[in-house]
Chain A
Amino acid sequence: MVPLEPWEKVFIKLVGRQKSYADIDEVHALIGCVTCHGGKEPAEFAAAHVGVVKDPSIMAESNCNPCHKEIVATNSNSMHSKAWGEQTTIAQRELGADKDHNNFSQCAIELTEGFSRECASCHTTCGQCHISRPNSAAGGFINNHQFKKTPDQTNNCLACHGSRIATDFEGLLKGNKPDVHHTKYMKCWDCHKEDMHADASGSATRYHLPDLPKCIDCHLLADLVTNDYHTEHWPDKGEGLSCFVCHSQPYNNCNSCHTKDPSGDLSEWWQTGYAESPGETDVHIGGGNYREYPDFKIGYNYDQELHDGKFIVVRHIPVVRDSYSPWGHDQLAKYDERPTWEYSSPHNIQRFTAQTDTTGGGSCGKNCHVLGDSTQVNMDRYLWQSNVDLDYPDEIEANKPVVVDDKVPSYWQKP
């Protein structure tokens, strides 16, 4: 993303025969600036900006509703607006694994208020997808305050989904190739056809959305089963491998983030308490200004109702028992009830990865099965109890459902 000077963020550049904003957006120009943004005109700079609302779509019910009534109505409960998944993870770590976003309001007030103040401020408004870069990227018009029906992939989608999705998709991680779909010039919305404005209050997380894309939407089942590896490892319920197990490259993982201290120095809040673990190598500051480290781990599918396959790819996520202590909530009461190595769907797909490369002959099993000459290399691809014991001693209980020790074939070697 190209950085924008402060003045550039609010500059409407007229080009060619354009003589006013109406030449850029005839319809919205009819409404007039003050109607949505408030303020006063004509006036001097200071007086003009008294009471100005920089993002009027934060009040979509009054500002966008007259024309976009149906979308506004459902979008107020969309996944992007409400971050239901975040609410679910907090509820489960505070109230118990059987809870979800519907129970979030029962959490301690420090959590619900902190969430409204901090998390909800990013998740998101109409304008942050259709006019400007999102708040998390410090704003700025995408294209002269033009209302874009389809958001800009780089400046909207990947501005938020940066440290993981963008890094993966564009192959920015050292040693990785870009996702094959990126190489084929596919955009986010070529796969993600789910209705972004739909009421998602019935979905506990993004993975619960009914119309989430699946590989077989494009890669026809009939073609895939002609491949012996696919036949052997197809991710049926409770069996086989998630597609990502074979076709993902290493991806970024995070560790031990804390929330902001509302009264303290916020400049490096994401580093507060970051405790580098022995197993983390190449810890670096990524595109989202977060500390992260590359890794690839195959874990046991701890939620087979939700995800296909017996084995899945898992990513270490940035939560610790006292993540919310800056909000005044010292410990998550049920921290042990949700894994910190979570199901992941890395967007760095390749047909041939370290797991599937059969260069030189032999089966790709030699790259995965913990047997024979490749034992040590292959062992590193899995999440074992010993990994958690060593790197994340406070997360042992939480990750018991994910470690593979007693899930892989009994004749495999183990750490």
Chain B
Amino acid sequence: MMKKIKLIAIVLLSLLWIACDPGHETVDLGDPSTCEGCHTSESTLKEYAQASGTEPSGGG
């Protein structure tokens, strides 16, 4: 019985933790003038790749 209670408690606490985790907020997201803003944006990267006609830097 105690085992079951422990298990349920662990599951509930895990769910609570996941639900409450705000993630790491960033002010850069979506801003193409920052590294992170650009490299987390699929559309921006595609645009630059097409415009430059060359392989973007990185990925070594």
> Do A and B actually bind?
yes
Residues of A participating in the B interface, judged by any CB pair closer than 8 Å = 4-7, 9-14, 17-23, 26, 29, 33-34, 37, 39, 41-45, 48-49, 52, 54-55, 58, 125, 127-128, 132-133, 135, 138-141, 145
A19 touches B56 (CB 8 A): no
Which A residues are in CB contact (< 8 Å) with B48? 7, 45
Secondary structure of the A contact surface, majority rule: loop
The 10 closest A-B pairs by CB, nearest first: A55-B60, A9-B59, A139-B59, A22-B24, A20-B26, A42-B33, A10-B58, A33-B35, A19-B23, A7-B45
Measured between C-beta atoms, what is the minimum distance from A47 to chain B in Å? 9
- Given A6-B49, A20-B26, A33-B35, check contact A139 B40 (CB 8 Å): no
B33 touches A12 (CB 8 A): no
A26 touches B24 (CB 8 A): yes
Kindly state the separation between the CA atoms of A54 and B56 in the bound complex, as whole angstroms.
Answer: 10
- Given A17-B23, A20-B26, check contact A10 B57 (CB 8 Å): yes
Kindly state the separation between the CA atoms of A344 and B30 in the bound complex, as whole angstroms.
Answer: 52
Which A residues are in CB contact (< 8 Å) with B21? 17
A19 touches B29 (CB 8 A): yes
- Given A5-B49, A44-B33, check contact A54 B40 (CB 8 Å): no
Kindly state the separation between the CA atoms of A219 and B27 in the bound complex, as whole angstroms.
Answer: 56
Most chain B CB within 10 A, of A13, A48, A128, is at A48
A21 touches B59 (CB 8 A): no
Q: Which of B23, B24, B35, B54 contacts A48 (CB 8 A)?
A: B35
- Given A42-B31, A48-B33, check contact A141 B23 (CB 8 Å): no
B46 touches A7 (CB 8 A): yes
Q: Which of B26, B38, B52 contacts A22 (CB 8 A)?
A: B26
Kindly state the separation between the CA atoms of A335 and B57 in the bound complex, as whole angstroms.
Answer: 41
- Given A12-B39, A22-B26, check contact A128 B60 (CB 8 Å): yes
A21 touches B60 (CB 8 A): no
A11 touches B39 (CB 8 A): yes
A9 nearest in chain B by CB position: B59
- Given A5-B49, A7-B49, check contact A41 B59 (CB 8 Å): no
Q: Which of B22, B23, B29, B34 contacts A41 (CB 8 A)?
A: B34
Measured between C-beta atoms, what is the minimum distance from A122 to chain B in Å? 12
B25 nearest in chain A by CB position: A19
Most chain B CB within 10 A, of A6, A13, A39, A55, is at A6
Kindly state the separation between the CA atoms of A139 and B59 in the bound complex, as whole angstroms.
Answer: 5
Which B residues are in CB contact (< 8 Å) with A135? 60
Which A residues are in CB contact (< 8 Å) with B52? 45
Kindly state the separation between the CA atoms of A266 and B35 in the bound complex, as whole angstroms.
Answer: 33
Kindly state the separation between the CA atoms of A53 and B46 in the bound complex, as whole angstroms.
Answer: 21
Which B residues are in CB contact (< 8 Å) with A48? 33, 35, 38
Which A residues are in CB contact (< 8 Å) with B59? 4, 9-10, 54, 132-133, 138-141
Which A residues are in CB contact (< 8 Å) with B46? 7
Which A residues are in CB contact (< 8 Å) with B31? 42
Kindly state the separation between the CA atoms of A22 and B22 in the bound complex, as whole angstroms.
Answer: 12
Kindly state the separation between the CA atoms of A128 and B39 in the bound complex, as whole angstroms.
Answer: 19
Measured between C-beta atoms, what is the minimum distance from B52 to chain A in Å? 7
Kindly state the separation between the CA atoms of A206 and B21 in the bound complex, as whole angstroms.
Answer: 47
A54 nearest in chain B by CB position: B60
- Given A5-B49, A7-B46, A20-B24, check contact A41 B35 (CB 8 Å): yes
- What are 6 A-B pairs at a CB distance below 8 A? A6-B49, A10-B39, A11-B45, A54-B58, A138-B59, A139-B58
Which B residues are in CB contact (< 8 Å) with A6? 49, 54-56
Kindly state the separation between the CA atoms of A318 and B27 in the bound complex, as whole angstroms.
Answer: 54
Measured between C-beta atoms, what is the minimum distance from B13 to chain A in Å? 17
- Given A52-B57, A127-B60, check contact A10 B34 (CB 8 Å): no
Which A residues are in CB contact (< 8 Å) with B34? 41-42
B24 nearest in chain A by CB position: A22
Which A residues are in CB contact (< 8 Å) with B57? 10, 39, 49, 52, 54
A21 touches B23 (CB 8 A): no
A10 nearest in chain B by CB position: B58
A127 nearest in chain B by CB position: B60
Which B residues are in CB contact (< 8 Å) with A5? 49
Which B residues are in CB contact (< 8 Å) with A19? 22-26, 29
Kindly state the separation between the CA atoms of A21 and B48 in the bound complex, as whole angstroms.
Answer: 20
Which B residues are in CB contact (< 8 Å) with A21? 26, 36, 40
A20 touches B23 (CB 8 A): yes
